[in-house]
Amino acid sequence: MHEKNYAIEVGAFECIVLKDSDGVYEDPIRPLFGDAPQEQLAQILKKYGGEFEQESEWISPYICLLIKTGSRNVLVDTGIGFLDPPVEGDLLRRLEEETIAPDDIDFVLITHAHGDHCGGNIDAAGKAAFKNARYVMHEAEWDFWTADSVLAQPQYDWMVPVVDECLKPLRDRFDLVNEDTMIVPGVNFISAPGHTPGHTVVQISSEGEQLWYLADTFLHPAHIERPDWFGEVDIQPEQCVNTRKSLLNTLGEGQSLLQCFHFPYPGLGYIRRNREGYRWHPLTGRDER
């Protein structure tokens, strides 16, 4: 199904949610929830229409974001690209629907180095897909994944082609940051480690309104109710839980619109505090293109 692009106004900015593709994950319980108590997990998953114990796979969207500030075009994450044949990312076609050419992108913000977030860094010829853009990543993320000692570990062998094809060839295009950084006025790149060592989120602010792109801080809405349920894909579990709790404390009053990369498309909604803790509330109004 070709879900349409989704437009949001954030003050004077126009933000466009772009679905790159769907990922299919076999046996998702341990990767997403590790050793979470099965009975409690099943109860929470039912709230969101999913009973993973009866399913063999999890189909997750890959959701990128285009921020049009009026003077700059900022792209957050690039999807799977050409990394996972026969699957091919749809990001460039989605941008074309917005009359945005790859050369129109000024900044590409990579929240972390997993292939579903940076596979679209390159085009079909293996060249930079956004040749006029500066790519931005947290320094800790780059240093971790480009270290030979890390890539030599068997659990990370799947990351070797990602690094070799989508990161290292573009090193001269990357700006590595080691602290929270304003990319352009109103667009802030904020450290949120745990899922990976240099995982980041993006805060978009204009005229008193905010949108937060949370990337993989929360992989499923159940993680908002139980931020202590980490999975095998979370490299630094304790830090991941601490980051989630910190962001819940910051965003839990439901004032800011949020976008989560793997949530049901378009991944937009609010986190609201309740008696038990927090709950995800998907955005109901739609402005499809």
Q: How far apart are CA 140 and CA 24, in angstroms?
A: 28
Whose tokens are 């629907």? That residue is 97
- Each residue's pLDDT tens digit, 64-116: 999 999 999 999 999 999 988 777 899 999 999 999 999 999 999 999 999 99
**The pLDDT of residue 9:** 97
Domains of the chain from N-terminus onward: 6-282 (3.60.15.10)
**The pLDDT of residue 53:** 56
What is the pLDDT confidence band of residue 205, given thresholds at 50, 70 and 90?
very high
pLDDT more than 90, % of the chain: 82
Q: What is the mean pLDDT of the chain?
A: 93
The number of residues in the chain equals 289
Q: How far apart are CA 34 and CA 91, in angstroms?
A: 31
Whether 46 contacts 76, CB under 8 Å: no
pTM of the model: 0.95
User: Which pairs from 50-58 meet CB under 8 Å and 24+ separation?
Assistant: 52/28, 53/29, 55/28, 56/26, 56/27, 57/24, 57/25, 57/26, 57/27, 57/28, 58/24, 58/25, 58/28, 58/32
